[in-house]
Structure 1
Amino acid sequence: MLDQWSEIADRVIAVEEITDEEALAILNCSDDELLLLLQASYKIRHQYFGNKVKLNMIINAKSGLCPENCGYCAQSSLSTAPVEKYTMVNRTTLLSGADEANRLKAGTYCIVASGRGPSKREVDTVASSVKEIKERYDLKVCACMGILKPEQAQQLKEAGVDRYNHNINTSKAHHPPNITTSHTYDDRVKTVNTAKDAGISPCSGVIVGMKETQADVIDMARSLKVLDADSIPVNFLHAIDGTPLEGTEELDPRYCLKVLALFRFINPTKEIRISGGREVNLRSLQPLGLYPANSVFVGDYLTTSGQKSTVDHKMIEDLGFEIDYTAVAEGQV
């Protein structure tokens, strides 16, 4: 495959889809060829995004108190992990988070609330906060509040929410009973489409390392292509003690890079975001992840800590890349 990675990248840029055999070859790429694979995935990334990197920041707006039984989540009903539990924060706290996102040079501020789906009060709180955030800052706002009803999606859209995140997390075949049984894979797809129907940019991603097969990983990437998700967060499982998946350690940094390359080859024009678990799974190879991916989170995640934002800014600078400060226009990622 020494010369073929670049040839496949050229075909992708020419709007050809890779085959399942080629997708498997990417995931099974020998470590000796890894830099060539990354160079080819960078060719695709550069075609659509140049050397720009989008920054995103999360606020955990409602923690714990979730009735769902997701095996990976420290906030689920099955978890015994010692996480904070609190109801939806107030508007002042959400505005303070936006100020922090702006300070960290994040272009997207992600308001995340645990639970099956939001209550009327929670949607009202987010909607009123987003209106003020938009008046103060040039930030894109992404909401992530679980299963969404059409009228809730419309309210968030009218308030100024740019993007709604609801991850598919894994493949349809691996979803029950391995990951969760309290909602279905189709429930998740329906919520992504509900956001799209309201005119909100869809964000949906995955968690890799949850005992899925390579065929599952390929199916995830292809499913997100069918969903036409504008932004695709690729999380790498950071197994938390007290969750059903505690002790799961299937990943190494090189395989994580191959996964990112796969998602770029299958979703060439989309924002591929290195998300939760990058610090513990990519480790010293984190900078290489930005050759296929064009987006990262800065700051902490929901229940785990990230690295200092100054380290992320320096990493981008050292690569010769630049932070993308441009507000996202309608129809762009």
Structure 2
Amino acid sequence: MSVSLNTVHWSRLAKKALQGDLLTQEEALSVLQADDEEVLPILQAAFQVRKHFYGKKVKLNMIINAKSGLCPEDCGYCSQSIVSNAPIEKYAFLDKETLIAGAREAQNRQAGTYCIVASGRGPTERELEQVIEAVREIRETMPLKICACLGILKPEQAARLKEAGVHRYNHNVNTSRSNYGQITSTHTYDQRVETVEAAKQAGLSPCSGVIIGMGETDEEIVEMAVALRSIDADSIPVNFLNAIPGTPLENRGRTPAMKALKVLALFRFICPSKEIRVAGGREKNLRTLQPLALYAANSIFVGDYLTTPGQEVTLDHQMIEDLGFEIEQCAL
């Protein structure tokens, strides 16, 4: 089904979002199922919401893959999982010096947030201490916000990360509750939500997002956006599946660029004041339409992802400049 609606409809959704009202199921589906020629009016409406909260600023984030592969979880999308045969580099947790060097590179790329990400179910005591030691030194010497993504987290671990100077904790819900069993069996949707709640209770800024393109329905995409609004995640990475050869989802097709733009607009309407980040799969799924994503989203990753390459950093900087937008400077 595709829906053709006039500009007044999209403007009304923007007004509703700015008032803090939740879109109805019908309104949300009208965004995802609109005709492709409606994309520019939809983005114009989404931009009114984005501009209200973030102006023309774009937040840059950089990931370091602190531990690669060696993961006992069976997440079907992930090249690092136990069920993956993808030919990736595998290594144990990086040492403190390497994590600190990564922070310096984040600064060079003009990233305001440095994301320390590790594969695995959750951090060991030794891994947690390595992160804590690195974070303390980074915070003493560099004006960076630190986001940690270390898997399922216990409340006392969250408290220790907060005390060390970690600003944000990421644990994605990835898909809808109703689709979760199709993606992984070694942990539950509720365990992911509980980790986000533990981070919030410790005073960490909660970050949780999704991966689009894993067999979910439009109704389930709406379900994801509403769930993240309920969780009250401050930052929402919207990933688009990069189907990696050797993973269970290797044969999934890419999300069409126009559909990806509608998804980003929907998340802006449903979570209007939150950081919406175009994350993994941006380059493969949006392709030449990447700049349009920033009319709904206000944040991107620069550089490579965990095991897949990203766009060359100077091209991201040029994209932002050519749009007439500006890189947000880190304010601790």
Shift of 1:110: 0.1
In structure 2, the residue matched to 1:124 is: 129
* 1:49-198 equivalences in 2 (<5 Å): 49-176=54-181, 178-198=182-202
* Contact 1:211–1:250, Cα closer than 8 Å, also in 2: no
Matched letter for residue 290 of structure 1? L
Q: Does 1:274 align with 2:256?
A: no
CA distance, structure 1, for counterparts of residue 117 and residue 254 of structure 2: 27
In structure 2, the residue matched to 1:29 is: 34
In structure 2, the residue matched to 1:238 is: 242
Matched letter for residue 61 of structure 1? A
Q: Does 1:298 align with 2:328?
A: no
CA distance, structure 1, for counterparts of residue 151 and residue 310 of structure 2: 23
In structure 2, the gaps of 5 or more residues are none
Where has structure 1 moved over 2 Å in runs of 4 or more? none
- Percent identity over the alignment? 61
CA distance, structure 1, for counterparts of residue 291 and residue 33 of structure 2: 21
* Contact 2:172–2:208, Cα closer than 8 Å, also in 1: yes
Q: Cα deviations across residues 91-136 of structure 1 (Å, max 9, x unaligned)?
A: 0000000000000000000000000000000000000100000111
Alignment RMSD? 0.6
Shift of 1:4: 1.0
Shift of 1:326: 3.2
SS in structure 2 at match of 1:112: strand
* Contact 1:108–1:142, Cα closer than 8 Å, also in 2: yes
Shift of 1:11: 1.7
In structure 1, the gaps of 5 or more residues are 329-333
Q: Cα deviations across residues 265-311 of structure 1 (Å, max 9, x unaligned)?
A: 00000000000000000000000000000000000000000011100
Give aligned pairs, total: 327
Matched letter for residue 203 of structure 1? C
TM-score of the aligned structures, taking structure 1 as reference length: 0.97
Shift of 1:250: 4.6
**Which deviates more, 4-13 or 93-102?**
4-13
* Contact 1:164–1:192, Cα closer than 8 Å, also in 2: yes
CA distance, structure 2, for counterparts of residue 31 and residue 213 of structure 1: 18
* Contact 1:170–1:207, Cα closer than 8 Å, also in 2: yes
TM-score of the aligned structures, taking structure 2 as reference length: 0.98
Matched letter for residue 163 of structure 2? E
Matched letter for residue 10 of structure 1? K
CA distance, structure 2, for counterparts of residue 250 and residue 98 of structure 1: 32
Shift of 1:7: 1.6
* Contact 1:148–1:194, Cα closer than 8 Å, also in 2: yes
In structure 1, the residue matched to 2:261 is: 257
SS in structure 2 at match of 1:174: helix
SS in structure 2 at match of 1:175: helix
CA distance, structure 2, for counterparts of residue 79 and residue 297 of structure 1: 24
Q: Does 1:207 align with 2:211?
A: yes
Matched letter for residue 193 of structure 1? E
Q: Cα deviations across residues 30-81 of structure 1 (Å, max 9, x unaligned)?
A: 1111100000000000010000000000000000000000000000000000
**Which deviates more, 156-165 or 13-22?**
13-22
CA distance, structure 1, for counterparts of residue 211 and residue 17 of structure 2: 24
* Contact 1:62–1:114, Cα closer than 8 Å, also in 2: yes
SS in structure 1 at match of 2:173: coil
* Contact 2:242–2:254, Cα closer than 8 Å, also in 1: no
Matched letter for residue 293 of structure 2? G
CA distance, structure 2, for counterparts of residue 127 and residue 326 of structure 1: 21
Matched letter for residue 218 of structure 1? V
**Which deviates more, 108-117 or 15-24?**
15-24
Shift of 1:208: 0.2
Matched letter for residue 39 of structure 2? L
Q: 1:316 aligns with which of 285, 306, 320?
A: 320
Matched letter for residue 300 of structure 1? D
Q: 1:5 aligns with which of 7, 10, 32?
A: 10
Q: 1:326 aligns with which of 306, 323, 330?
A: 330
CA distance, structure 2, for counterparts of residue 11 and residue 219 of structure 1: 18
* Contact 2:254–2:285, Cα closer than 8 Å, also in 1: no
CA distance, structure 1, for counterparts of residue 135 and residue 331 of structure 2: 15
